[in-house]
Chains A and B, each alone.
Chain A
């Protein structure tokens, strides 16, 4: 759905196709001319690194994904703020510790290596599905304690849910998102029903623990279900964008892959830089809980404030030559905001970072060449950068 160009915002033409494919020139212009920008509808848009970082961490904001289908997560860490947020976050944190993630992650390595073996003769692989979706989904399923089948289906449904975020969302987008939410909720409700009927049978994980907490009256059944859908659905999309973009980058710049392959000590820095360049969630909204000001611009209580993470990650005042890959940035100017910051930093960021590392390591261990075999299928909106396919030869 595209609105007439004249009706679009001059600095942020959210529904313009070109903007959605490559919003960075617009971000750069806005950052220079109006780093704290007030849109006609009153929404404030931030594009500078320090403003975004400060606002994401400020206690002066509530986070909510707005009205519409995303109200399905009103009882999760996504849409509640401290102190309820702290309690919920602590229940799930226990299942995403470095120690446990190291156990879950073996499945990602195994699946990635199996896929690479199957295509080791140089046939074209949909690297997006095989390496960016299947391993992260299976890893999250292991944490949750559920079967890991239908990775592609779950990814596509959750991606459809994200179509209801951002600007220019029409009734069709909301309807499709609602249908996908319904599918994910029904599927997760079925898993929960089976766990209730056969406690202790099959894979065990976060969901089983949450059901015990529900039995103890520490959370509602609805919270268990919503939290399960949130993690189950989002387990692959965020790492998938970084993995797919990273593999694409390796194909475009083989010297970067060669560096990754031959210099294990550089791998963390290379991943950090790829994560900076290719965030999946490119902006976040928080609402001011009291009158304040940002960069000298007065902001009234209730104002939606959009932190454009993708713009902050390429702020030249913080990152020198921000559009270029440079894994040797000074330590004090190398940390990006891809996984958010503050209370609402991504709850699954440790598992996401680990799965990205596991997949890239598997590729580095199994292959010496990554070659593009066609155009990637993209599903970028103004809010989320997603893929549909990525044809590569990896051998």
Chain B
């Protein structure tokens, strides 16, 4: 099962994650969206393949629900060898810290031994494309048409 673990500030990543689940499910894949603030990082080592999805807040900070996830992950520091992850970020390219939050998570996951699969996807709020369209399009490329 693909688990999409999302961090959000204003609900946009949640919407993108849920729409991604719908698209993957319709394509016959088993997928579920879980909020970072309710996900237990101790379970991460048992996952086969997860999608991390988060927005960036303020000047490159992690959003409200992603910050505790990141801190717990650093503290628990599980061995993630054998765990695959893909990443999708929501940001705004007019900031120098464009998509910094998902990049921070990608670095930490890799340091803990997880293997990143595929190119990360980025939604850019400076362009007039909807988050859901971009997220679903990226998921299609990564998991359905691949």
Residues on A facing B (Cβ under 8 Å): 53, 57, 59, 82, 86, 90, 93-94, 96-100, 268-269, 272, 331-332, 334-335, 341, 343, 350
Contacts and interface: CB of A to CB of B under 8 A. Distances in A.
A378 B59 CA distance: 39
Contact of B128 (A100, A335, A341, A343): A335
Given A90-B64, A272-B128, A341-B94, 7 more contacts: A53-B94, A96-B11, A97-B12, A98-B12, A268-B128, A268-B130, A331-B127
A100 B11 contact: yes
Contacts of B58: 82, 86, 343
A334 B11 contact: no
A299 B59 CA distance: 23
A335 B127 contact: yes
A36 to B, nearest CB: 19
B15 interface: yes
A58 to B, nearest CB: 10
Contacts of A94: 11
Contacts of A341: 94
The interface centre, meaning the residue of B12, B15, B128, B129 with most chain A CB atoms within 10 A of its CB, is: B128
Interface string B89-131: 0000011000000000000000000000000000001111110
B95 A57 contact: yes
**Chain B interface helix/strand/loop/mixed:** loop
Contact residues on B (Cβ < 8 Å of other chain), bracket? 10 to 19
B77 interface: no
The list of the 6 closest CB pairs from A to B, nearest first, reads A97-B11, A98-B15, A93-B10, A331-B127, A334-B128, A98-B11
A97 B10 contact: yes
B126 A335 contact: yes
B127 A332 contact: yes
Contacts of A268: 128, 130
Contacts of B12: 97-98
A299 to B, nearest CB: 21
Given A53-B94, A59-B59, A93 B127 contact: no
A96 B130 contact: no
A100 B127 CA distance: 24
A97 B64 contact: no
Contacts of B126: 332, 335
Contact of B15 (A82, A97, A272, A335): A97
A97 B128 contact: no
A99 B33 CA distance: 14
Contacts of A82: 58
Contacts of B128: 268-269, 272, 331, 334-335
A319 to B, nearest CB: 13
Contacts of A331: 127-129
B10 A350 contact: yes
Contacts of A97: 8, 10-12, 14-15
Contacts of B79: none
B94 A93 contact: no
Contacts of B18: 99
A284 B29 CA distance: 48
A302 B108 CA distance: 41
29 contacts: A53-B94, A57-B94, A57-B95, A59-B59, A86-B58, A90-B9, A90-B64, A93-B9, A93-B64, A96-B10, A97-B10, A97-B11, A97-B12, A97-B14, A97-B15, A98-B11, A98-B15, A99-B14, A269-B128, A272-B128, A331-B128, A332-B126, A332-B127, A334-B127, A334-B128, A335-B125, A335-B126, A343-B58, A350-B10
Contacts of B95: 57
Given A82-B58, A86-B58, A343-B58, A99 B127 contact: no
Contacts of A350: 10
Nearest to B129: A331
A331 B130 CA distance: 12
Nearest to B9: A93
A37 B12 CA distance: 37
A269 B10 CA distance: 23
Nearest to A272: B128
